[in-house]
Each structure stands twice: as C-alpha cells, then as structure tokens.
Amino acid sequence: MEKLIVLVSVCLVTVFAQKFGFGSCPNAKPLAQLDINRYLGKWYEIYKFNSFFEINQECITANYSIKADGHIKVFNRGTTNGKEVSAVGDAYLPNATLPAQLAVRFATGAPYGPYWVLDTDYTNYSVVFSCEALTGLAHAEFAWILSRKNTISAELKQQLFQKFTDNGVDTSALKQTVQTNCSY
C-alpha cells in the first residue's frame, strides 16, 4: 500500500502515465546497448499510457542533460489549462552492464523507478517502458513514445506500437499527447 501511495504521488508530480494490471510485469526486453550521450537533449512526448487521474497535460517535453556527478538531469515540462508546469528528476544507471535500464526519480528520498529504453535511434524516436510489481499479484506499467520532433509519421507510429506489442506491452491504453499550439 505504501508503495502504491508513493507511485501515485510520483505520478502527480511528474505527470507519469500509468496502467495497473494483474499478474507480473510483461517480459519486456530493453536494448542491450545505449549511448547515453547521443540520447541526451530534448524529446517530445508523443504517446503515453492514459493517466490514472486523467490529468489534462499538453505540450510535454523532456530534456536530459549530464550532471557534474555523472547522473542525468531530467527536466520535464508541460502545460495544464494553459499554465506551465515542470518537474526536475534525477536518473542514473544502476548497473553499467545493463546500459538501457536507467532508474529515475522526481523527489529526493523517493524510490527510483525503472526507465527502460526498448528502442531508440537517437535522432528520431525512443520507446520507453517501466514496470514495477506492486504486491506480487499486480503491477504498474508506464509507457512513452518520445520523438525529437513534435510529431511522428503514421508509418513510424505503427512501427513503434509494434515494438511495444513485441515486448508484451498492450498498446490500447496509449494516448496521444497534444503537441499543437505549444510555445516551446
């Protein structure tokens, strides 16, 4: 229960979208290699799982940059009813032999959650997945499609949805993020 509350508060702070499911996490396969330097910089959120709270957020972007301590600064921005909201998180690589399995958190003292890159070509798209077991009987999933541009082609969309499907992730809960009339 405590973990659920933490997840929910993380969700509120970070606009994390999540989906609860029964059973264990899908057997998703992160990339074997990830060049974090090429991954840094600005990404537009194009799709994500429906928010548990249906928070209406538009114009969501993330900017990843290296910090002095080698961790990654995560700067998320969005707008709610035209008002800008942002959150700063910290990400790092817990195990150097698993370079696409980052861990991220948005509040000091909060537990880190997984941030797995299932696929990226660095210059166009990234397919990100996160799943945590809650009690052994259930799990919480987070999923995002990020792009270097504020839109993706129908062809690329189909390819990236297929990537989720191939990883056992149900795409029916993916919802497109509004990226029009954004000021940044």
Q: Which residues lie near ligand NAG (CB under 6 A)?
A: 42, 63, 65, 75, 95, 97-98, 123-124, 156
Least separation in angstroms between residue 22's CB and ligand NAG is 26
49 or 64: whose CB is closer to ligand NAG? Answer: 64
The neighbouring-strand residues paired with 114 are 103
- 88-97 long-range contacts, Cβ below 8 Å, gap at least 24? 89/14, 91/64, 91/115, 93/36
Nearer to ligand NAG, 58 or 170 (CB): 58
Which CB, 50 or 176, lies closer to ligand NAG?
Answer: 176
Give the closest residue to 164 by CA, choosing from 118, 120, 133, 121: 118
Q: Closest approach of Cβ 106 to ligand NAG, in Å?
A: 16
Tell me whether residue 27 or residue 135 sits nearer to ligand NAG (CB atom): 27
Supply angle C-alpha 108, 112, 116, rounded to 5.
Answer: 140
Residue position matching structure tokens 């229960």: 1
CB of 168 to ligand NAG, least distance (A): 19
